[in-house]
Structure 1
Amino acid sequence: MKGSTKKKMVDAAIRLFYTQGYDGTSVRDIASSANVNIALVSYYFGGKKALYEKILIQFLEGYLQTMHKAIRQQTNSVQESLLSVIRELLVYQATNHYTARMVHREMTLDSVLVREIMTTYLRKEKHDYEQMIKLGMKKGEFQRQSVDYVIIQIRTMVNMPYLTPHYFQELYQLSPKEPYFVDRYMEHIARWVKAALCQPKAETGIA
């Protein structure tokens, strides 16, 4: 019962934070949406701010776990490993699309919480991407270029659909939370990785 009540509150808070924003959502809104006593929000989570931070941190921990699991998979090349990581992160965000938008929206602000998240979680993500890109260059799979800019481009492709889902829906009639979007989007990303990162195949001179 306790777990079910907490989950109802978390689910309600995620939907409300997504649609109304943090400031536009009250503890009473959360309790009413979850159909629980208002005092339970403070009892279980310590208040609205603590609940909001818990949701963000749980999402980011799951994000990194998803990334690490994909990295550990056995693949034939760094290129395949990178594409596997990207796909799994897209699927993770599509599955948790409300929370994904909350987190990415929070990252656009300058706050103590954001600085802590940058240090604790996003530096780990950056490190993992760096290791993959540098390994690809060392093995001769990837062209030598600015690792930082490559990571920025990859992160933008991975996260942009879930930061601004309405942009995709209204202008392109695409729904980033749907499986078909991930499949089609991965086709484009795979072409981008091949063109922008991978070493061009040597000309054989054979017609």
Structure 2
Amino acid sequence: MKETPTKRKIVETASTLFYQKGFHGTSVRDIAEKASVNVSSISYYFKGKQGLLEYAIANYYEEYLQLIETTLEQSMDDEPIERLKNLIHHIIQYKHINLQLSCFIHRELSMDSVFVREMAVTYLAKENYIIGNAFSLVFKDKKEDKYKLDRQFLLMQLKGMLVTPYVLQNEWRSQIVGDYSHSLFVNKYVQTIHKWLAYISE
């Protein structure tokens, strides 16, 4: 079933409520009231709350994976380190544009929520492959790699940095007011990761 304004509104509303109240703390009626739609609309489009969550997560990751694949394709001629830096910027930017759903998903994954992990497992495997491959290419031609033995741990650190703002959003969101400051946060946070990456790859 193709996207419609009503369907999009329901997903956006549900994402906000899941973020604020959690999945189990949000009812179909809550979503319908806040989205100004009938409960039957949610049943029609998604077959219920579980189907709505599945759709939201699938849509989130499909757009995300398409973005990172396109980003890498468009920077094929760049040096590996620049490709990875560009990829990191697009990842953080996407997660921030979809802030509430990003926070909800990463919060659930950090708590090892089975119902979210089962929905996301295939997407997460593909994400790990893409990021891991881009990270490995940075070190491919280095004859003397001072971090050779620790590379798996460094990749783990990178993946941690990509999700930290969305697991620990209480650490920074009080400093953010309006779209402009969100943009500043993204740029500053990305620059911090870039500095770390430059240090370990020099």
How does the TM-score come out when normalised to structure 1?
0.85
| Aligned residue in 1 for 2:123 | 121
Equivalent residue letter for 2:53: Y
Equivalent residue letter for 2:54: E
Aligned-partner Cα distance in 1 for 2:152–2:115: 24
* Matched residues, number: 194
Alignment of 1:77-96 (within 5 A): 77-96=79-98
| Aligned residue in 2 for 1:111 | 114
Aligned-partner Cα distance in 2 for 1:106–1:153: 20
Instruction: Say which structure is richer in helix.
Output: 2
Q: Is the 8 A contact 1:8 1:34 kept in 2?
A: yes
**Structure 1 residues without counterparts, runs of 5 or longer:** 200-207
How does the TM-score come out when normalised to structure 2?
0.87
Percentage identity across paired residues of the two chains: 30
Q: By how many angstroms is 1:125 displaced?
A: 1.2
Q: By how many angstroms is 1:122 displaced?
A: 1.1
Q: By how many angstroms is 1:169 displaced?
A: 2.6
Q: Is the 8 A contact 1:16 1:30 kept in 2?
A: yes
Asked which structure has the greater CA Rg, the reply is 1
| Aligned residue in 1 for 2:52 | 51
Q: By how many angstroms is 1:27 displaced?
A: 0.4
**Structure 2 residues without counterparts, runs of 5 or longer:** none
| Cα distance, 1:41–1:27 mapped onto 2, change above 3 Å | same
Whether 1:151 aligns to 2:155 is yes
Aligned-partner Cα distance in 2 for 1:83–1:59: 22
Q: By how many angstroms is 1:145 displaced?
A: 3.7
CA RMSD of aligned residues (A): 2.2
- Equivalent position to 2:188, from 173, 184, 188: 184
Point out the more displaced range, 146-155 or 58-67. 146-155
| Aligned residue in 2 for 1:202 | none
